[in-house]
Structure 1
């Protein structure tokens, strides 16, 4: 059973595959697996896979993945939500003096914010504004003011959430 589970995991991670040169059920290492030369390489691979990079906006993946793999989870989360803030400011063409909560309230104002979703109800627009305000306050601000202890899974969830927020901003650019 343990061998079958291990084979299943190795296959799902793209580390082994059926040997295309054999007719039976023989397996070979994939090119990805062949790059894992040491225990440290394997540990970095496992740590890196906690963050599903395929779910991230490409510009976010480039900024945070290396921080996450290195174990700088608080810095990776801070950088992810800083990217959200910068994307909102850039999309609305606001200057650098409009920051944080004030920035997202102005950008997602339910009545006249340039990033509001006009196809939804007033309550939904207010909720979306609150979502962005809460995200900046809860996810970005703590790490910008003090050391924050985040485990790998929590950091991964927050980074994926930041990617979702970035996708909203990208969809709504005026």
Structure 2
């Protein structure tokens, strides 16, 4: 199948078809700013497992910082402490109890299941959705930072 006029234009400008497609699959403005230099770059290099790991590592580090917890707090134990529905430092005390519990569960599930995907399974293009999820969760952390 021949390239479209737009495809020929981009190729003529020195943009490879592969990078043009990658740019469309996961656009920079879709992501939290802290993921753009690491996870996005790795995704565009088709290093999907590493891109997902980096996205969730950034999430874990920023949760720890925002909650004021030490380096000994890791993984799902970190998210359980940070978003503890009964008074975690990143818990929205104005939210309904079930919503607070659900957010803690969501954060814990994301860190527990997606941070180390290469140790559980091969990650392909679903990495896009996983990175977008990490980005969304980073936005929640930003909104919960104590002022």
User: Scaled by the length of structure 2, what TM-score is found?
Assistant: 0.88
Do structure 1's residue 57 and structure 2's residue 57 form an aligned pair?
no
State the distance in 2 between where 1:92 and 1:120 align: 18
Aligned match for 2:121, one of 148, 162, 165:
148
Decide whether aligned partners of structure 1 residues 139 and 33 sit closer, same or farther in structure 2, where only a CA change above 3 A counts: farther
Pick the aligned partner of 2:20 from 26, 30, 45.
Answer: 45
CA-CA distance at 1:148 after TM superposition: 3.2
Could you give the per-residue CA deviations for residues 57-102 of structure 1, whole angstroms, max 9, x where no partner exists?
1111111111101111011001101111000001112111110111
User: Corresponding residue for 1:25?
Assistant: none
Provide closer, same or farther for how the CA distance between residues 147 and 110 of structure 1 changes in structure 2, counting only shifts above 3 A: closer
Distance 1:90 1:35 in 2: 41
Matches within 5 A, 1:14-53: 29=9, 34-36=13-15, 41-53=16-28
Higher mean Cα deviation, 159-168 or 134-143?
Answer: 134-143
Give the total of aligned pairs.
146
Partner of 2:38, secondary structure, is helix
Regions of 4+ moved over 6 Å: none
Residue 172 (structure 1) aligned with residue 122 (structure 2): no
Output aligned runs, 1:7-156, within 5 Å: 10=6, 29=9, 34-36=13-15, 41-143=16-118, 146=119, 148-152=121-125, 154-156=126-128
Cα distance in 2 between the residues matched to 1:93 and 1:147: 30
User: Which is greater in Rg?
Assistant: 1
User: Larger relative CO (CA 8 A, sep 6+): 1 or 2?
Assistant: 2
